[in-house]
A and B are shown apart, each in its own frame.
Chain A
């Protein structure tokens, strides 16, 4: 089956623009708020959506996403609950691709095959499993493939030219370029570094390339969409949400609107960049 991801990137290419991929952590700070964000993302300009699955030990994430995960777990987040969110979302939106990002142990505990079957049936399009590198791909690749789920892999500045083909061969959907050597939400790459890095990856793949880690502002998102094909924004949105929680950690009445306004501003900047079709 042809994925929503491929269809969406093809459509954007025809329109001559890049994609905005906003991120939300499931159940942060409660199921209703994160569901409202998920429902609101496409209208605010999200082209694809990334949902973080909370894990107790997120070793690639900085403090912002760590705390979002802890709030999600406290609110009762599970893999099954995250899939239920996607199922609800799919009742109204059958076009916007949804990618789950998380760590391997909750998937292993759920059962890899059962998870891939349920994820596909719930309307998930792709998976980013941070701690399963190509060397361990056989853990999850067969089940993901059998269910038509794209396995989106991370490429880092440390991924050398000799290693790139191996990583990219194991990638489907799009390539997630990690802009910095570091954890999420800490620092940002320079335009020069990205302008040098993306052609290096592009030389080895025809897949779309998204840039994540350190993309915070509309300007940075526009730059990422110009140099690559998509910008992933996570910590900056979570910071806004976190700043709009009350003393008990509950979302204030306008928290969702503030995050969606931010997505709108990011989307406008990304859409203003014209790319060759």
Chain B
């Protein structure tokens, strides 16, 4: 295990400076950084102060059962072999690492690669962790699957896996998101899932997750809750990260093959943070690899219309874990806003909160407008229509790459394809379809 010293970490120094922006944040200025960033979570499901298991007693025994079952499954070679088989022959992994040559030339700086997780079956990275979880649910003897979804990608992935494995599936989706993601709603229904529009709150992802938890409380005996991101009560943040880490593991091998060395910079969009965690995790102990998580700035982080939990939130407890949240001074949760339904969440995975406080990963943001520009540029230059989620990551790459020398290697996670978003984008561009 590598011993990492503070002086190796420019990010840590940056974070210490930024620490002044939130007075209660503890910056470990005089404490050594951990020997490894890959040891979390602890036995209580904590990454530092973040994470945990903040659920009602009715769910607690089941949460502990999921933890035990996952702990056994991940050490069972036949379980992992079945998951890998599905990734290879059903999902189409490994996904390619694509050198975006025209984009690189256009930006005139660092060399930009895309990790093409939008080519996965169902069109996003979500399927990686869904297949693992549905295999686990079967192993636990659960006969009904529920899931929450924002943009619909996790809902489609879950409905797909349930069709394949012949399990009934109910997807909770905010009524607002049902409206703006009609193609995915229809897909889920074609796949045999029941889609339940949730009308409470702002009727988006947060409310869908509340409703998922409520359904689970009422149906613990036969139901497995397939969470779509690296959030929720322990063991979900760890489990979803572990499954999504296939993204970073492949990237490492592919970059070694392409360039003979590790990348210098990883960039990924963050809603709950599963695609970013999957890309980052295998590189966390590589001191030379910098990382940027891109939150949705909506109309701008200085407005009240954004989803930048790390940039503008403070720690609190929601949906089973302690993490950075958008909340008012009384601890009431605020509605997030983003043009991307998949980033429209007022929280973030607890491991990201921890990496943020340690300064290991830099968290930045991109606005709706910047994401729309990136969406169009990528379509024209690379012939790839990105989802609005990775369009946020790309917007940051567009700012970053021109400032870096040509030998710098950037990998951006193209975590989803944009088919589902063309109606939203058309509307914003004033096009009637």
Which residues of A line the B interface, CB within 8 A?
55-63, 66, 73, 78-79, 103-110, 130-136, 153-160, 163, 167, 178, 180-183, 186
Contact = CB atoms under 8 A, between A and B. Distances in A.
A132 B53 CA distance: 8
Nearest to B60: A133
Chain A contact residues: over half helix, strand or loop, or mixed? loop
Range, interface on chain B: 35 or more
Q: Counting chain A CB atoms within 10 Å of each CB, which of B56, B57, B60, B327 scores highest? A: B57
Interface in B176-226: 200-201, 206, 210, 213-214, 217-221
B162 to A, nearest CB: 23
Nearest to B202: A56
A181 B221 contact: yes
6 contacts: A105-B325, A109-B327, A131-B54, A133-B53, A156-B57, A181-B218
Contact of B317 (A58, A104, A158, A180): A104
Contacts of A158: 57-62, 220
Contacts of B327: 105, 109
B212 to A, nearest CB: 9
B58 A178 contact: yes
A206 to B, nearest CB: 20
A131 B58 CA distance: 10
B329 interface: yes
B427 interface: no
B273 interface: no
Given A57-B318, A105-B316, A109-B329, A133 B55 contact: yes
A134 B200 CA distance: 29
A159 B331 contact: no
A255 B26 CA distance: 49
A135 B60 contact: yes
B101 to A, nearest CB: 46
Interface in B201-256: 201, 206, 210, 213-214, 217-221
A109 B334 CA distance: 14
A182 B218 contact: yes
B44 interface: yes
Nearest to A106: B331
A154 B56 contact: yes
